[in-house]
Structure 1
């Protein structure tokens, strides 16, 4: 009698459990996650202060560091002392400001195609696309990753400053391979529009499969907003973006800073960076995110989600 009773009991449990499993699966499928990500840490002291405030007092869940920049060490020290937070490397192949510039981490004679006539990294992405040799780029990006590790930064992911590392198919493939080698997720978006991105979108389809096979996550959507300097309009744009998030994992890229003389001397985006800091440390904005049922996650959590998915499929 024990064996039939056990089978009947197991069947009853399965029948009752199956609908709840289905319901849970549907619930998860419709879940909205967001990574609120601050770019450009290490760029300047004022950017470091704004980014740290966003992570400590606000809802900024992740940041990435520009290793070649003069204020890298300050932020690296913060990261080492606060390993519970989430940090990536903002892989950098260009130096865009007029009077505040930086060169490569690798020795200049080892990466000659990366530098301009003034011995700095190229000014813009178009110049990177035109001049940079992929082997030189790989040497430099490895040097940036290794420098961050040497300074004790607990790394969670890799991404790209101004998209320079994803501007050509060969650079994109090298970037993905670095992520796989270091077992660090890379900023990568599913289903790029081929009309807009051409060969990059075509290469992206191939590389998306490679990333997922290696347990590295791929974003469902990516949002960034430069535009409006007016604070209230800027805040309303972010709130509207949050209200309209699609199911899946979206990253919102922001740039935090303090609107002071240092940052004003570097960039005309100073007030916008200050606005991003203020928006994502605003208790009303944080409450709105919670009320919308959106879960704010880190790249570490996103990576764990991907690994769990791979393990479940095996």
Structure 2
């Protein structure tokens, strides 16, 4: 059987993303969204999620290029005075690996993000992270421990980021945590338009594939600052496209959420 989870990342980042997520779910093929709990549009996204219970929402952990939940005094080496993480992904990854002090602060912040999600009254469908940082050796250990503690049922494997994805898959199997078998969107990040979808769909394999995307009604504000090359509007239009839906139906691909795997 071919099953497809269609996920929108960055839910909660801003109004334009939130609006697109709901459109894509109610009128298109979107089944899931991954929520940033420390962003400016988080409160709006939480309310939208509650108003649309068929949209399955997971946690989009943020440890780079975004804002923390905890104040700087509790994680002084992770964020600046404005609670903002570094934008330098590689350098952050190196620091996170070698500093015991940072590891403790990362664990504290990760747990705070999980707790904020749950305190909002939402059920965690899955977990992933901004820029796939949960495959980092240090962070993956923290995430798996917290996933067991808070009964998080599924975690995304970003296949293609070898060898980190290989080690994550092995750890998830050992921990009996669900995951996707395949992934679409890694090499197409920011370019998951209609034509891209139509090229990818015929090649979807047996098992559970997750396709992730970044829809928005327009690229303005924080989107223009942080993802200026992403085709947000085109990605939304693809999720709403009758041609894409018809192709999925033609190839007998069932759309599901991570929650359907349990």
Do these two structures clear the TM 0.5 threshold for a shared fold by scoring above it? yes
Q: How does 1:1-314 map to 2 (within 5 A)?
A: 31-95=1-65, 102-116=66-80, 119-132=83-96, 133-167=102-136, 169-189=137-157, 197-198=162-163, 200-201=164-165, 203-204=167-168, 206-212=170-176, 216-224=177-185, 225-226=188-189, 228=191, 234-259=193-218, 261-262=220-221, 265-269=224-228, 272-302=231-261, 304=262
Count residues in correspondence. Answer: 255
User: 1:131, 1:54 → 2: CA distance?
Assistant: 38
Give structure 2 stretches of 5+ with no counterpart: 97-101
TM-aligned CA deviation for residue 264 of structure 1: 5.8
Structure number, greater radius of gyration: 1
Superposed CA deviations along residues 269-305 of structure 1, whole A, max 9, x for unmatched, are: 4761111110011122112111110001011102x2x
Superposed CA deviations along residues 28-70 of structure 1, whole A, max 9, x for unmatched, are: xxx1111011000000110111111111111101000111111
Taking structure 1 as the reference length, the TM-score comes to 0.74
Superposed CA deviations along residues 105-132 of structure 1, whole A, max 9, x for unmatched, are: 0121111221147651111321321333
User: 1:36, 1:149 → 2: CA distance?
Assistant: 22
Taking structure 2 as the reference length, the TM-score comes to 0.88
Q: Which contiguous aligned blocks of 4+ residues in structure 1 show a shift greater than 3 angstroms?
A: 116-119, 260-271
The structure carrying a bigger helix percent of its residues is 1
Mean alpha-carbon deviation: is it higher for 241-250 or for 218-227? 218-227
* Alignment match, 1:22: none
Give structure 1 stretches of 5+ with no counterpart: 1-30, 96-101, 305-314
User: 1:164, 1:296 → 2: CA distance?
Assistant: 26
Mean alpha-carbon deviation: is it higher for 238-247 or for 79-88? 79-88
Distance verdict in 2 for CA 1:146–1:188, change over 3 Å: same
